[in-house]
């Protein structure tokens, strides 16, 4: 499909890349493609970045008919630009689409929307260490009627913005609070889909944790309220007695691309990785008997995020002396090394622009 480009009449001033705030400095253009039942995808276009005109009765505004993705474009030392596993994001978007009755988007169209937009905005891909261009593709249901049905008119949109390191102060361990009231998702719900509704469900616990001095919550499963699922909006991994443990993809855990990449690297390095149910009590027992060696979250935005303290009710434990663990650091160095083109990419994860 041809992509029509309408350049912006005036270009914005680019922000100072040493003081970027995550997700704020949107660029000059955006990609849009329309879908109508019977007609399929059409009118792929790059247009000046601007507010969308949406009918107030549009389904997305009332019933959360929305899915999204998150990935980054990286500037390498030779000035070229590359993406990390972008086809995995599109594949996941189509899985999310299935869950929310949104249409499947052809991989080549979804990818072209990303690559063409990054090409148009290439001067926005920052050059400073640890900076990148964050890419946010999303799909919304636009039928203007309040009946509860899936939409026949849908848009796939991509917006991008330069971002700095997720933690500007560096890779410091964060404090995590085990959430025992709210749940993020349940089996049979939308946990495996990357959709706004799961984030709406997570806001209250996140706000309360922040007020109590914690940076994220550790989510438990919605059925037994016992088993660990994710940390904030990241997947979570533990090193217990030399082995790596991570919750299995049980339907309410999101299939993270960083998670998948970490599991591969850990196996390459000879670690045993177990994907299985892990109860919060197993975790706290391991912490108390000294076998919990490391804990970290994984996700595109932060890459890996070391966990230094865990609290559940009145119990509090420290992980690896509140220092970044050896494996956590090694995963961060290797993944960011591949992403910015500083180390070899043996698994073919990089797509050059």
- Nearer residue to ligand PLP within complex by CB, 155 or 258: 258
* Angle at 203 (CA atoms; ends 240, 176), nearest 5 degrees: 25
Q: Facing residues of 238 across strands?
A: 245, 295
Least Å from the CB of residue 195 to ligand PLP: 9
Count residues binding ligand PLP (CB under 6 A).
Answer: 14
- Rounded Cα distance, 232 and 219, in Å: 7
Q: Which of these ranges, 106-114, 127-135, 256-264, 334-342, lies near ligand PLP under the rule CB under 6 A?
A: 256-264
Q: Which of these ranges, 257-265, 270-278, 305-313, 321-329, lies near ligand PLP under the rule CB under 6 A?
A: 257-265
- Which residues, 6 or more positions from 212, have their beta carbon under 8 angstroms from its beta carbon? 177
Residues 303 and 336 sit within 8 Å (Cβ to Cβ) = yes
- Nearer residue to ligand PLP within complex by CB, 258 or 320: 258
Q: 104 to 143, contacts with ligand PLP by CB under 6 A?
A: none
Tokens of 201: 């469900």
Q: According to the binding rule CB under 6 A, does residue 195 interact with ligand PLP? A: no
Q: According to the binding rule CB under 6 A, does residue 233 interact with ligand PLP? A: yes
- Rounded Cα distance, 236 and 63, in Å: 29
Interface residue with ligand PLP among 15, 70, 197, 251 (CB under 6 A) is 70
- Rounded Cα distance, 159 and 344, in Å: 29
Q: According to the binding rule CB under 6 A, does residue 246 interact with ligand PLP? A: no
Residue 174: exposed, middle, or buried by beta-carbon count in 10 A (0-12, 13-18, 19+)? Answer: buried
Interface residue with ligand PLP among 300, 320, 328, 339 (CB under 6 A) is 300
Least Å from the CB of residue 50 to ligand PLP: 26
Tokens of 310: 């865990």
Residues engaged in binding ligand PLP (CB under 6 A): 70, 194, 230, 233-235, 254, 256-259, 298-300
């Amino acid at each position: 499909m041809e992509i029509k480009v309408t350049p912006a009449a005036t270009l914005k001033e680019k922000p100072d890349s040493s003081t970027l705030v995550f997700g704020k400095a949107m660029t000059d253009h955006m990609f849009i493609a329309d879908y109508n039942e019977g007609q399929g995808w059409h009118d792929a276009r790059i247009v000046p970045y601007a507010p969308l005109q949406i009918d107030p009765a549009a389904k997305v505004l009332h019933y959360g008919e929305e899915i999204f993705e998150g990935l980054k474009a990286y500037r390498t030392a030779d000035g070229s630009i590359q993406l990390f596993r972008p086809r995995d994001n599109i594949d996941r978007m189509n899985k999310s689409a299935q869950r929310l009755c949104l249409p499947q988007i052809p991989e080549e169209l979804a990818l072209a929307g990303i690559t063409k937009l990054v090409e148009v905005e290439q001067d926005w891909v920052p050059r400073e260490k640890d900076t990148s261009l964050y890419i946010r593709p999303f799909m919304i249901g636009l039928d203007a009627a309040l009946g509860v049905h899936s939409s026949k008119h849908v848009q796939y949109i991509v917006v991008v913005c330069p971002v700095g390191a997720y933690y500007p102060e560096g890779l410091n361990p964060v404090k995590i609070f085990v959430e025992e009231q709210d749940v993020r998702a349940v089996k049979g719900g939308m946990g495996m889909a990357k959709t706004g509704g799961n984030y709406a469900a997570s806001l209250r616990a996140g706000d309360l944790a922040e007020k109590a001095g914690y940076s994220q919550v550790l989510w438990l499963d919605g059925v037994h309220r016992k088993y660990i699922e994710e940390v904030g909006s990241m997947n979570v991994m533990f090193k217990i007695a030399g082995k790596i443990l991570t919750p299995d993809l049980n339907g309410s855990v999101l299939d993270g691309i960083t998670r998948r990449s970490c599991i591969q690297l850990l196996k390459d390095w000879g670690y045993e990785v177990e994907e299985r149910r892990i109860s919060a009590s197993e975790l706290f027992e391991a912490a108390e008997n000294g076998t919990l060696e490391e804990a970290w979250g994984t996700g595109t935005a932060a890459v890996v995020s070391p966990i230094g303290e865990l609290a559940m009710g009145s119990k509090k434990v420290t992980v690896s002396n509140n220092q970044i663990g050896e494996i956590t650091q090694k995963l961060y160095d290797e993944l960011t090394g591949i992403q910015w083109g500083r180390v070899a990419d043996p698994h073919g994860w990089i797509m050059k622009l």
